[in-house]
């Protein structure tokens, strides 16, 4: 888990009523309340970007599970986060296929451009750089995940273009979005 | 080079994911036939006769697995394992992306075969965009009456939930996956009891890989004999291989089982890109033993031949390694992965993967000695076969084979660094 500098003054936002209703619907859909834990965490993650202590409280109430159970699930899965995240979390695959195709060069390049090391967040809270395990895009490596999309066949030039766009607040069309429209 | 499209007929198309297109091309006819006949045992028998083997990695016959559900069980669950996380594997992603209805139809038929009323499609969390696509297909299927109550007037009910994972390799193991959906850490359970007897919430549960499930409609439509006409006697049908590394044409290929690697490599993949030479291949995902170029050139791509060659077909995640790659560097990448992904439950795996990773790092830092190579072998012996699930074996197989087949590279590194001294070997940001 990377160390993230707080980006929001509010460290403990309350999930909205809409999210609470979403969790109720999940509990009704799943065979028992506890089995709705992962999708309920996702519902909070999708709104807040992380699961706040207030979010944990909501989960224990709605799903009839202990705080310990929520915490163990939150900490077991790498995509679940308990702290506010950077605006753009750049997750570069550093597993074998992407490594063969040059992931380390890409990571070194990103470190230089962002002025941070792998696992760190820029002081302005805008970018975090993470190394992640296989993203399932091995034939399209090296690749990088941002939100729910992947950028594939990356080169240092393409990474520079991506960073420039993100600095302007524009998220460029990802390769997996293209795949959907292809 | 003949093309096969049992699974891939809609790959690369812009409209293949739509229900209307799928129906136009014969989609959901297999489901109609199966529900019309109303005989779950006959479906199980057909798939058993076809000889379809689980495509997630273990290769266990799918129809036989279905047969383990106790007769007359009231509550049965079905899981489609789309937690595709084995490094080198990206076939299920394309199956779901280009043709989600094929997998969905296979799911409904499979559920009918085992009389499951609730199915989960467990998709790894990193496939964010794919989850939307599969959910859209599920919504279409509900609207068209292929899911829900009394499907096509048959009296068979089925609900499907698309469940999003959250980044844990171990959830690809079937009991880990079941525990994950129960709202727990994805730690595997000891077998027996097997999930088919006592799985999700203690009820009979079948977990099948996406590719296995996607093969079912074709088998129903064309019959087991037609499926057996492709592939070999013990490995019938086609298999998806996802190929990565510096070959001319990486990607996902549907090949008849038994195809000689040499032919696949030269004719289908186009060989290596300019300037690279083949050094080794991991044929079935990062967890199977590596084969040096000279050995891999003589194997056929089916379960039995690969086993004879000392490796496994696994998930079909083929990683092509060029001469320019340092094998000690690559094994460090892999040992970091298994160390990172060990669920921590069994001591031999939790501690062993850490030991392997640290020893390899020590070699790469330039502080290794010849004894370290013996220590690697010793740690492997303390892990293999001694844990609840195969993750420890999955780390040991590449470690042993890299050490066995490329020992001179390990020894050369130790010799060179003994003279040159410690040094940083990655550009920066060394993995810890």
What is the ipTM for the molecules in this complex? 0.94
Phi, psi for A134 (deg, rounded to 5): -35, 125
- Do A29 and A72 belong to one domain? yes
Contact A15, A55 (CB under 8 A): yes
Residues of A in Cβ contact (< 8 Å) with B185: 72-73, 76
A4 found inside a domain: no
A7 found inside a domain: no
- Do A93 and A156 belong to one domain? yes
Structure token pair of residue A133: 């395990």
pLDDT band, very low/low/confident/very high, at A7 (cuts 50, 70, 90): very low
Please check the confidence at residue A3 and state whether its pLDDT lies above 50. Answer: no
Tally of domains within chain A: 2
DSSP assignment string, B181-207: HTTS------SSSPTTTS-GGGS-EEE
Contact between chains at B166 and A38 (C-beta distance less than 8 A): yes
3-state secondary structure (DSSP) of residue A130: strand
pLDDT band, very low/low/confident/very high, at B425 (cuts 50, 70, 90): low
Find all residues with CB under 8 Å of B213, minimum gap 6, and list them.
B80, B103, B106, B107, B110
Domain that holds residue A146: 88-167
A9 found inside a domain: no
CATH of B19-228, one of 3.90.1530.10, 3.90.79.10, 3.40.50.11540, 3.40.630.30: 3.40.50.11540
- Do A105 and A141 belong to one domain? yes
Q: How confident is the model over B207-213, as a mean pLDDT?
A: 98
Phi, psi for B272 (deg, rounded to 5): -80, 160
Residue B128 contacts A where some CB pair is shorter than 8 Å: yes
Q: Which class is domain B238-322?
A: alpha beta
Contact between chains at B90 and A138 (C-beta distance less than 8 A): yes
Residues B354, B360, B366, B372, Cα dihedral to 10°: 90
* CATH number of the structural domain spanning residue A120: 3.40.30.10
Cα–Cα distance between B122 and B82 in angstroms, integer?
A: 5
Minimum distance, in Å, between the CA of residue A72 and any CA atom of chain B = 7
Which of B429, B430, B431, B432 is the mutation pick for testing A, counting most A CBs within 10 A?
Answer: B429
Please check whether the two domains, B238-322 and B327-429, share a CATH topology: no
Count Cβ atoms below 10 Å from residue A3 Cβ, excluding itself. Answer: 9
pLDDT tens track for B255-314: 999 999 999 999 999 999 999 999 999 999 999 999 999 999 999 999 999 999 999 999
- Do A59 and A100 belong to one domain? no
Contact between chains at B97 and A179 (C-beta distance less than 8 A): yes
Question: What's the DSSP call for residue B288?
Answer: S
Mean of the per-residue pLDDT values of chain B:
95
Mean of the per-residue pLDDT values of chain A:
93
Contact between chains at A138 and B337 (C-beta distance less than 8 A): no
Taking CA atoms, A50 is separated from A6, A12, A62, B338, in Å, by 12, 10, 18, 26
Q: Map out the domains of chain B as residue ranges.
A: 19-228, 238-322, 327-429
A154 found inside a domain: yes
Structure token pair of residue B11: 């790959």
pLDDT band, very low/low/confident/very high, at B423 (cuts 50, 70, 90): low
pLDDT band, very low/low/confident/very high, at B417 (cuts 50, 70, 90): confident
pLDDT tens track for B190-201: 999 999 999 999
Query: By C-alpha distance, which of B221, B220, B238, B239 is closest to B229?
Result: B238
A178 found inside a domain: no
- Do A66 and A92 belong to one domain? no
Question: What's the DSSP call for residue B247?
Answer: B
Cα–Cα distance between B53 and B238 in angstroms, integer?
A: 10
- Do A72 and A111 belong to one domain? no
- Do A151 and A120 belong to one domain? yes
A177 found inside a domain: no
A83 found inside a domain: no
Fold classification of B327-429 is de novo design (two linked rop proteins) (1.20.1440)
pLDDT tens track for B350-382: 999 999 999 999 999 889 999 999 999 999 999
Cα–Cα distance between B6 and B239 in angstroms, integer?
A: 9
pLDDT of the residue at B1? 72
Name the β-bridge partners of A121: A128
Cα–Cα distance between A154 and A158 in angstroms, integer?
A: 6
Contact between chains at A100 and B330 (C-beta distance less than 8 A): yes
Cα–Cα distance between B333 and B6 in angstroms, integer?
A: 35
Q: What is the helix (H) or strand (E) element at residue B254, kind and residue range?
A: strand B251-256
Residue B12 contacts A where some CB pair is shorter than 8 Å: yes
A159 found inside a domain: yes
pLDDT band, very low/low/confident/very high, at B427 (cuts 50, 70, 90): very low
- Do A42 and A65 belong to one domain? yes
Query: By C-alpha distance, which of B227, B229, B297 is closest to B269?
Result: B297
Q: How confident is the model over A110-133, as a mean pLDDT?
A: 96
pLDDT of the residue at B421? 73
- Do A163 and A95 belong to one domain? yes
């Amino acid at each position: 888990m990377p160390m993230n500098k707080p980006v929001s003054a509010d460290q403990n936002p309350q999930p909205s009523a809409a999210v609470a209703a979403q969790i109720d619907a999940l509990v009704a859909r799943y065979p028992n309340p506890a089995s709705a834990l992962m999708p309920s965490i996702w519902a909070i993650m999708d709104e807040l970007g992380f699961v706040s202590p207030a979010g944990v409280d909501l989960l224990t109430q709605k799903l009839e599970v202990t705080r310990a159970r929520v915490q163990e699930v939150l900490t077991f899965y790498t995509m679940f986060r308990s702290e506010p995240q950077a605006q753009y979390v750049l997750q570069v695959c550093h597993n074998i296929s992407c490594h063969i195709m040059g992931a380390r060069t890409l990571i070194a390049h990103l470190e230089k451009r962002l002025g941070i090391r792998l696992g760190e967040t820029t002081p302005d809270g805008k970018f975090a750089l993470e190394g992640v395990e296989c993203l399932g895009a091995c034939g399209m490596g090296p690749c990088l995940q941002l939100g729910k999309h992947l950028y594939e066949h990356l080169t240092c030039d393409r990474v520079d273009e991506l960073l420039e766009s993100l600095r302007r607040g524009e998220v460029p069309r990802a390769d997996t979005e293209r795949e959907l429209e292809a | 080079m003949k093309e096969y499209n049992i699974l891939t007929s809609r790959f690369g198309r812009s409209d293949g994911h739509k229900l209307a297109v799928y129906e136009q091309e014969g989609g959901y006819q297999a489901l109609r036939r199966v529900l019309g006949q109303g005989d779950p045992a006959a479906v199980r028998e057909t798939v058993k006769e076809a000889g379809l083997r689980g495509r997630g990695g273990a290769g266990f016959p799918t129809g036989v697995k279905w047969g383990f559900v106790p007769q007359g069980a009231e509550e049965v669950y079905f899981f489609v394992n789309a937690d595709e996380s084995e490094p080198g594997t990206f076939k299920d992603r394309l199956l779901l992306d280009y043709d989600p209805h094929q997998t969905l139809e296979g799911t409904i038929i499979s559920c009918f075969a085992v009389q499951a009323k609730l199915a989960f499609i467990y998709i790894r969390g990193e496939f964010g965009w794919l989850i939307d696509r599969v959910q859209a297909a599920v919504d279409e299927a509900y609207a068209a009456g292929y899911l829900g109550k009394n499907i096509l007037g048959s009296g068979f009910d089925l609900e499907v939930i698309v469940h999003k994972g959250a980044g844990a390799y171990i959830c690809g193991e079937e009991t880990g996956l079941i525990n994950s959906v129960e709202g727990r850490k994805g730690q595997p359970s000891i077998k027996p009891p097997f999930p088919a007897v006592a799985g999700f919430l203690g009820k009979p549960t079948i977990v099948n890989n996406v590719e296995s499930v996607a093969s079912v409609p074709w088998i129903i439509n064309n019959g087991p004999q037609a499926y057996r006409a492709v592939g070999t006697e013990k490995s019938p049908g086609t298999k998806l291989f996802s190929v990565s590394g510096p070959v001319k044409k990486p990607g996902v290929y549907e090949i008849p089982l038994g195809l000689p690697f040499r032919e696949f490599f030269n004719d289908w993949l186009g060989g290596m890109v300019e300037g690279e030479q083949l050094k080794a291949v991991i044929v079935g995902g990062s967890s199977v033993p590596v084969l040096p170029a000279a050995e891999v050139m003589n194997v056929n791509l089916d379960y039995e031949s690969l086993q004879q060659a000392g490796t496994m077909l696994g998930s079909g995640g083929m990683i092509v390694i060029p001469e320019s790659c340092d094998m000690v560097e690559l094994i460090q990448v892999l040992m970091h992965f298994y160390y990172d992904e060990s669920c921590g439950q069994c001591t031999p795996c939790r501690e062993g993967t850490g030991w392997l990773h640290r020893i390899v790092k020590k070699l790469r830092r330039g502080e290794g000695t010849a004894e370290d190579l013996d220590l690697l072998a010793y740690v492997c012996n303390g892990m293999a076969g001694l844990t609840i699930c195969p993750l420890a074996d999955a780390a040991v197989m590449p470690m042993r084979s890299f050490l066995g087949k490329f020992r001179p590279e390990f020894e050369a590194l130790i010799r060179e660094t003994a003279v040159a001294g410690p040094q940083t070997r990655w550009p920066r940001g060394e993995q810890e």
